[in-house]
Amino acid sequence: MLYFDSTYLIVLPAIVFALIAQLMVKSTFQKYSKEKNEYGYTAREVARRILDENGLNNVQIEYIGGNLTDHYDPSANVIRLSDTVYNSTSVAAIGVAAHEVGHAIQHAQGYSPIKIRQAIIPITRIGSNLAVPLVLIGMIFSAFEWLIPVGIFLYTGVVFFQAVTLPVEFNASSRALNTLDSHNILQPGEIKMAKKVLTAAAMTYVAAMFSSLMSLLRLILIANRGRRR
């Protein structure tokens, strides 16, 4: 007889939420990728303009392959724009590029949440890799039961990282939309389209936060069930 672990029911809604969020961001980006901005700017041109106007001439812009693999790399001081964004004149691409510039500006201005997120990345990596194995070892071997709370504590670092990521991402999107509007880069109707793209993207981070929280709850329930046996 197959054994069914009822704790999987806890993470199931998070999995569904994450899948829906991914579908939303892809469909929304695809929809507004067909809408070209009135002035004919490319996403790379917009990113360069915003960076220069904020005194970030030292931040480079590079091409990277893939779809929506765009990101700001603070260690290299580089914004990497993906194949579907770099030379695109679409409203969706410009919104994404401006969002990544928002991260560069956050770093330059010492935005507190992004500094916290960078500081806890090593702990987060350790927690995501070791938390579950430590809890399982503690459950299997009574001599190592003390590893259970250690594993759970490490995984709380993952949850905290996701929690800090939310204001970082929402703030970058807010900066992007305000800049695109105040610098007259996009028209009012185009701003609304870009906002829909960035809002859909933000939902993936909300889903990641919810998923990590549910995974932590499942880990706690598994540990408590193991102690009762």
100 part of the active site = yes
Closest CA to 63 of 51, 47, 39, 50: 47
Three-state SS letters, 8-36: HHHHHHHHHHHHHHHHHHHHHHHHHCCCE
Counting other chains too, the contacts that 191-196 makes at CB distance below 8 Å and 24 or more residues apart are 193/32, 193/35, 193/91, 193/92, 193/95, 194/32, 194/91, 194/92, 194/94, 194/95, 194/98, 195/95, 196/28, 196/32
* Of 100, 145, 169, 190, catalytic: 100
Closest CA to 7 of 216, 150, 229: 216
Return the DSSP state at 78.
Answer: E
SS3 183: coil
CA distance 84 to 70: 9
Neighbour-count burial of 52, counting CB atoms closer than 10 A to its CB (0-12 exposed, 13-18 middle, 19+ buried): exposed
Count of CB atoms situated within 10 Å of the CB of 210: 17
Active site (catalytic) residues: 100
